[in-house]
């Protein structure tokens, strides 16, 4: 293991005095601080296997070296993150990029790091070398039944891999759509997609869920068959109680009110989970919280309020995953930042005085409602997030420790300067 317990201990000791001062100053102002901290300790965010290497562009790819060369090394990388922040206890795999040679030994390896397998992702947006039919004109929507069948069978195969690994969610993102007006009969494309999904749904084990991800555009630029939350929601509703909508933050048209979409899906019992990232223009897959942290907070505010109102478990009733990928940062440093940003937004949302906010809303006191929200948002909650990490056995400053231990240099030495993540 690259990061020993004593290294974390030493780091925490050296940072303890400064942390303690900051934490105590804040803790005095937080009602029920211990229960808030416990919520932060419990909250876990799954890491996608494809974010462990550089990528996220159809143009040049610039590896920083030391990227995982195998599925096992991807698990090790997530283990490393979890050792540092105690907040990333699961990994989300993509098939066929991540086909395990032995599910049992992969599961055992993951368990060594305290990891489990979150949502399994299918891939019908690329052709694989041995594949009989092409997805050039779509997969589950395709005009040719044989193509649809191939895509359905692939999804069922992904479920089987997931079962062996102990996962219980299938995430389906479809690139299906059209690039030119007239190319597609929208009604037929939707209907075929629904029927294909129904066959996949029929193969879901009893305790499984299926998440239907939507995306406004790309790779198709005229229409996407599951293009927005409404299309995903109608599909999920027709499929049944095990089907839900997945919200990827980067998959909306500019300026969409994502927090309102989230509140509504939650209210309808159809919110499955998230792909966290950030975006300025489109599906940018940038680090969560790097562009619009206020939006992230507003989303978490709806989540906390809505989940509490519905008596939902913050940890297990929704799927919390990152979906990020880019070219210019160390992928592990980037993921540490993303998890930190998510926990900060969650902590801020937990600080919102919900009762006072609801009173202000009922009285149409618009000014006070804004004050209450921003009071929470403008609180520097980083000492709370750090304290939770400390209590969970992680590092007070994960990124700082990652750098001072020269983790990337050690990975480059071990795996090579030219090591590029497999599968992307
Ligand atoms: C694609 O835009 C989606 O965000 C999917 O979640 C996709 O499967 C993932 O980004 C891996 O490429
Ligand atoms: Zn978990
Ligand atoms: Zn996504
Ligand atoms: Zn995306």
3-state SS record for the chain: CCCCHHHHHHHHHHHHHHHHHHHHHHHCCCCCHHHHHHHHHHCCCEEEHHHCCCCCCCCCCCCCCCCCCCHHHHHHHHHHHHHHHCCCCEEEEECCCCCCCCHHHHHHHHHHCCCEEEEEECCCCCCCCCCCCCCCCCCCCCCCHHHHHHHHHHHHHHHHHHHHHCCCEEEEECCCEECCCCCCCHHHHHHHHHHHHHHHHHCCCCCCEEEEECCCCCCCCCEECCCCHHHHHHHHHHHCCCEEEEEECCCCCCCCCHHHHHHHHHHCCCEEEEEECECCCCCCCECCCCCCHHHHHHHHHHHHHHHHHCCCCCCCCCEEEECCCCCCCCHHHHHHHHHHHHHHHHHHHHHCCHHHHHHHHHCCCHHHHHHHHHHHHCCCCHHHHHHHHHHCCCCCCHHHHHHHCCHHHHHHHHHCCCCCCCCC
Between the CA of 279 and the centroid of ligand 1 the distance, in Å, is 14
Pocket flag, ligand 1, residue 283 (CB < 6 Å): yes
Between the CA of 44 and the centroid of ligand 2 the distance, in Å, is 6
Q: Are 325 and 94 contacting, i.e. CB atoms less than 8 angstroms apart?
A: no
Could you identify the atom of ligand 1 that is nearest to the CA of residue 250?
4
pLDDT in tens, 179-209: 999 999 999 999 999 999 999 999 999 999 9
- Hey, whose CA ends up nearest to atom 10 of ligand 1? 323
- Asked if residue 269 is part of any domain, the answer here is yes
| CATH code at position 101 | 3.20.20.150
User: What pLDDT does residue 418 have?
Assistant: 86
Between the CA of 266 and the centroid of ligand 2 the distance, in Å, is 20
Task: Measure the CA–CA gap between 399 and 92, rounded to whole angstroms.
Answer: 22
- Where the chain has pLDDT below 50, the residues are none
Pocket flag, ligand 1, residue 215 (CB < 6 Å): yes
Q: Which phi and psi angles does 98 have, rounded to 5°?
A: -120, 50
17: tokens are 């005095």
Pocket flag, ligand 1, residue 214 (CB < 6 Å): no
Q: How far is CA 295 from CA 95, 191, 394, in A?
A: 31, 34, 27
Could you identify the atom of ligand 1 that is nearest to the CA of residue 123?
8
- Asked if residue 168 is part of any domain, the answer here is yes
Q: What is the ipTM of this complex?
A: 0.95
Pocket flag, ligand 1, residue 248 (CB < 6 Å): yes
pLDDT in tens, 81-136: 999 999 999 999 999 999 999 999 999 999 999 999 999 999 999 999 999 999 99
- Hey, whose CA ends up nearest to atom 6 of ligand 1? 173
User: Nearest bound ligand to CA 218?
Assistant: 1
User: What pLDDT does residue 422 have?
Assistant: 66
User: What pLDDT does residue 155 have?
Assistant: 99
Q: Are 242 and 248 contacting, i.e. CB atoms less than 8 angstroms apart?
A: no
- Hey, whose CA ends up nearest to atom 3 of ligand 1? 173
User: What pLDDT does residue 141 have?
Assistant: 98
- Asked if residue 347 is part of any domain, the answer here is no
Domain span including residue 137: 44-340
- Asked if residue 382 is part of any domain, the answer here is no
How many structural domains compose the chain?
Answer: 1
- Asked if residue 31 is part of any domain, the answer here is no
380: tokens are 């520097």
User: What pLDDT does residue 423 have?
Assistant: 61
Between the CA of 196 and the centroid of ligand 3 the distance, in Å, is 20
- Hey, whose CA ends up nearest to atom 7 of ligand 1? 173
Instruction: Report the predicted TM-score, pTM, of the whole model to 2 decimal places.
Output: 0.97
Between the CA of 323 and the centroid of ligand 3 the distance, in Å, is 5
Could you identify the atom of ligand 1 that is nearest to the CA of residue 125?
8
- Asked if residue 383 is part of any domain, the answer here is no
Q: Residue 367, exposed/middle/buried by CB under 10 A (0-12, 13-18, 19+)?
A: exposed
Give the position of tokens 């193509």. Answer: 147
User: What pLDDT does residue 421 have?
Assistant: 82
User: What pLDDT does residue 424 have?
Assistant: 57
- Asked if residue 68 is part of any domain, the answer here is yes
Q: Which phi and psi angles does 365 have, rounded to 5°?
A: -90, 85
- Asked if residue 176 is part of any domain, the answer here is yes
Helix axes 293-309 and 366-377, enclosed angle (nearest 10): 110
What are the residues whose beta carbon lies below 5 Å from ligand 4 (ion)? 283
Helix axes 293-309 and 258-267, enclosed angle (nearest 10): 10
Pocket flag, ligand 1, residue 220 (CB < 6 Å): no
What are the residues whose beta carbon lies below 5 Å from ligand 2 (ion)? 44, 89-90
Between the CA of 408 and the centroid of ligand 3 the distance, in Å, is 26
């Amino acid at each position: 293991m690259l990061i020993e317990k004593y290294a974390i201990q030493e780091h925490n000791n050296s940072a303890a005095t400064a942390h303690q001062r900051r934490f105590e100053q804040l803790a005095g102002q937080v009602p029920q601080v211990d229960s808030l901290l416990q919520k932060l300790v419990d909250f876990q965010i799954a890491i996608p296997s494809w974010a462990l290497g550089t990528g996220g562009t159809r143009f040049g790819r610039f590896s920083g070296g030391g990227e995982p060369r195998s599925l096992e090394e991807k698990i090790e990388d997530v283990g490393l993150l979890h050792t540092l922040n105690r907040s990333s206890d699961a990994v989300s795999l993509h098939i066929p990029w991540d086909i395990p040679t032995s599910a049992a030994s992969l599961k055992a390896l993951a368990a060594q790091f305290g990891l489990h397998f979150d949502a399994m992702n299918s891939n019908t947006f690329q052709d694989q070398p041995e594949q009989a039919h092409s997805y050039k004109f779509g997969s589950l929507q395709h005009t040719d039944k044989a193509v649809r069948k191939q895509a359905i069978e692939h999804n069922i195969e992904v479920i089987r891999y997931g079962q062996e690994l102990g996962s219980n969610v299938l995430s389906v993102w479809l690139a299906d759509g059209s690039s030119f007006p007239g190319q597609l009969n929208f009604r037929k494309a939707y209907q075929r997609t629904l029927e294909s999904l129904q066959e996949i749904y029929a193969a879901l084990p009893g305790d499984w869920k299926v998440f239907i991800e939507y995306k406004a555009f790309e790779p198709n630029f005229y229409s996407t068959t599951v293009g927005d939350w409404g299309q995903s929601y109608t599909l999920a509703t027709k499929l049944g109680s095990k089907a839900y909508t997945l919200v990827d933050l980067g998959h909306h048209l500019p300026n969409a009110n994502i927090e309102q979409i989230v509140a509504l899906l939650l209210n309808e019992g159809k919110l499955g989970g998230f792909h966290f990232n950030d975006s300025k223009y489109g599906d940018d897959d940038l680090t969560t919280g790097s562009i619009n942290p206020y939006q992230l907070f507003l989303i978490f505010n709806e989540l906390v309020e809505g989940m509490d109102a519905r008596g939902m478990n913050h940890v297990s009733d929704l799927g919390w995953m990152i979906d990020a990928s880019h070219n210019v940062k160390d992928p592990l440093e980037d993921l540490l930042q993303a998890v930190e940003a998510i926990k900060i937004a969650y902590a801020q949302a937990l600080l919102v005085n919900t009762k006072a906010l609801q009173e202000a809303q009922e009285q149409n006191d618009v000014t006070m409602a804004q004050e209450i929200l921003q009071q929470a948002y403008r609180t520097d909650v980083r000492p709370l997030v750090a304290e939770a990490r400390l209590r969970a056995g992680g590092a007070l400053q994960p990124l700082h420790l990652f750098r001072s231990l020269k983790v990337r240099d050690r990975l480059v030495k071990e795996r090579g300067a030219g090591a590029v993540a497999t599968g992307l």
